[in-house]
A and B are shown apart, each in its own frame.
Chain A
């Protein structure tokens, strides 16, 4: 799959402004990931994991800074065209890929499995992006620097998973993998439903709404501006939603 997407990645990363916007988005994703890890550190009762999560969170914050710094360099040198927005995440996902981490009390083993999988995917993705940035040595160096941390993150999550849940480690990784697929399906389904819903609502907008819009605009013209005096009993009945 990654091989098939290589031409897409070369297109995504080929343009400097687009590269800058992409890195800026990565910066936000890394910062969010760092906050999730801080939350995990706050909830865990395992002192060793607390230290590791906090260290990992610090790495994510540093990555966010690195991505942001490079993004700003690129965007200053190559301002994006007006209205150009970062690509959707599915085109070049960052560290957490397409997944959201669920942080809750008492869930270190599933969390470690999730993190291990996420870090492994991110490492593979970042390696692809590193190769897709062409002659941009500075951006390549950013990915190389971050990839080194990813190796540590992959290793510690695996080893700690085997420590806290030796019997279930492999099963938990498989479960995390399936959950990731399920979430990707849900995201796809919600996205598709959103598109279908959007089309239907847009059709309704142009077919059903015009007469109501005309009436509404006429009413708006008659409305006085400024203060509106309220009746003494306004809003006294709390039972209704209107």
Chain B
């Protein structure tokens, strides 16, 4: 069967294509449109997926959308009614928004793709998250937990799944409903801290390490626990139910102080900066505590050893590590794309395995389902710009890269198909030496143009990870897709200064040879040269840009930043000492 999954209209639109149960292609629209967090109907992604499989839309057996639009409309309308009359400004905005496009998804898919309406299916939002987490994980039976801002009504679900000869099941047994949402709690603090919602949550997590959770009791007043072990939001502190302008209320501001203006830098040496860091630390701690409690309860109820965790909250690597350590589960699986983009894949998998009842097949244990990079295209573009281009075999390429990395250079690394999900897992990465904090500062200043308090991640061969990082049982697996934050061993922190966060932790990636063979070989060679087979690995992009996907995008990132070299496949280019730009006088 040929099944296309889609997610769009809110954030991170994506398409994913399954053919006979296996993923042929999956890509976020932003990687192709080059608009960060592009939420538009993912036409370019659909075209890519179909081209990759050599299909036409008419060949598809089903198109599966990742949520139920009318159920979502029901939630939006009900929320506005409950906030009457405070919601008088939000109501016209929400109605125009929903009725303009979002409520008519079947017709939109049908008209855009030319697929008959009876081939279009809808999963629930959290079913798609659950499927993306469970059906991509190498486990036959697992508890399932999903948590995000909100889907239709659910904001957090718990259940279990099984695969086997008797078929595949995903049973979401209970849920917590909007407006009570851990994702909304965290996003409210994200907004209050002056970061963009759905984008700046990473920054809150990074900032949290600089503070102490001195405001945790205040945060707990916002999210009291219920008698059954769940939680609710104390809605007096929030305004997202009835306002489009602010997610926090006057009472929230009375408790935590005025919000930070987005344009003001965070000065961690000032009392205000430290207060913001303390608040970030506090909400992080409270979020972790609740998630650990819920996961522990889920483990007790299911008695299972594995947990699959999906939804945007599963991007919180610090919380994931605590769940793994404290909940009683032996293994924790977080997919490469636990957020809404991953729902495109989850929706397609759910339809394939459960709606159509196709047998569960082992799912490729990686996230490389996007467009392939073309080294020849990079060679052509760089050659046209007069740069020296080298085509090297793997052995010489790796030797050259090791030389450059050891000399403190920063390398753009493009290899094979691009990642599905927000993490650069070694196919669209910036690599640098991990020992020098000056390299980290240079990356922040000259390449990533981002806040100083945000950490960089290390990548390490799986077999060597335990030597440098304190990994709990199951930690290496969680780190496969960079989904957990773990302590750097104290004796290595100085030699891993560029990737060790202020609290002594790192969001590492453990790399097995089969996952990314060329990068694995580079790590081994770098280890032989320096004694430490660890590299700094961050996404190949500049602040505000999506991760580079094609060779042309890699080249433009290389050109605009302080990167020293760019590798695509076996092609290597490096900057000239002095770049030749067109002269203004020519155009006077």
A binding-site residues for B, Cβ under 8 Å: 24, 31, 35, 38-39, 41-43, 47-48, 50-52, 54-55, 57-58, 61, 68, 71-72, 75, 152, 155-156, 159, 194, 197-198, 201-202, 205-206, 209-210, 212-213, 216-217, 220, 225-230, 232, 234-236, 238-242
Give Cα A225 to B223, complex, Å: 12
A50 in contact with B385 given A35-B34, A241-B71 (CB within 8 Å): yes
Q: Given A206-B88, A213-B81, do A42 and B587 touch, yes or no (CB 8 Å)?
A: no
User: For residue A206, which residues in chain B have a CB less than 8 angstroms away from its CB?
Assistant: 85, 88
Give every chain A residue within 8 A of B263 (Cβ-Cβ).
24, 68, 71-72, 75
Would you call A228 and B177 a contact (CB within 8 A)? yes
* Residues of the A chain whose Cβ atoms lie less than 8 Å from the Cβ of B91: 201-202, 205, 209
Q: How near does chain A come to B69, taking the closest CB pair, in angstroms? A: 5
A205, B172: Cβ atoms closer than 8 Å: no
**Given A42-B550, A240-B122: A205 and B82 within 8 A (CB)?**
no
21 A-B pairs in the complex with CB atoms less than 8 angstroms apart: A35-B545, A38-B34, A47-B384, A47-B385, A50-B381, A51-B385, A55-B581, A72-B263, A152-B584, A197-B92, A201-B95, A205-B84, A216-B78, A226-B230, A226-B232, A229-B173, A230-B172, A235-B123, A239-B121, A242-B68, A242-B70
Report which B residues bind A (CB closer than 8 A): 34, 64, 68-71, 74, 78, 81-82, 84-85, 87-88, 91-93, 95-96, 105-106, 121-124, 127, 157, 159, 171-177, 180, 226-232, 261, 263-264, 350-351, 354-355, 381, 384-385, 544-545, 550, 552-553, 555-556, 559-560, 580-582, 584, 587-588
Counting chain B CB atoms within 10 Å of each CB, the highest count among A39, A42, A51, A241 belongs to A241
A225, B180: Cβ atoms closer than 8 Å = yes
Contact A238 B123 (CB under 8 A): yes
Given contacts A38-B556, A75-B261, A225-B226, 13 further A-B contacts (CB under 8 A): A35-B34, A35-B544, A38-B545, A41-B556, A55-B582, A152-B584, A156-B582, A201-B92, A209-B84, A216-B84, A220-B82, A230-B174, A234-B172
- In angstroms, Cα B93 to Cα A35, docked, is 29
B423 to chain A, nearest CB (A): 22
A216 to B580, CA, bound (A): 67
**C-alpha gap A198/B100 in the complex (Å):** 13
Q: Check B127 against A42 for contact (C-beta < 8 Å).
A: no
Tell me the total A-B contact number using a CB cutoff of 8 A: 148
Do B84 and A54 have beta carbons less than 8 Å apart?
no
> Is the contact region of chain A dominated by helix, strand, or loop, or is it mixed?
helix
Query: Which residues of the partner chain B approach A220 to less than 8 Å between Cβ atoms?
Result: 82
Picked from A156, A216, A241, the residue with its CB within 8 Å of the CB of B105 is: A241
- Considering the chains assembled together, what is the distance between the CA atoms of A124 and B543 in angstroms? 30
Bound together, the chains give a CA A202 to CA B92 distance in angstroms of 6
* Nearest neighbor of A159 in chain B, beta-carbon distance: B587
CB contacts (< 8 Å) of A72 on chain B: these are 263-264
Smallest CB-CB separation from A221: which chain B residue? B82
- Complex Cα distance, B327 from A190, in Å, reads 52
Q: By the criterion CB–CB under 8 Å, are A48 and B582 in contact?
A: yes
Residues of chain B within 8 A of A227, CB atoms compared: 174-176, 226, 228-230
- Complex Cα–Cα for A72 and B261 (A): 11
Contact among A57, A152, A217 with B560 in the assembled complex (CB-CB below 8 Å): A57
Which of A71, A205, A236, A238 makes the CB contact (< 8 A) with B64? A238
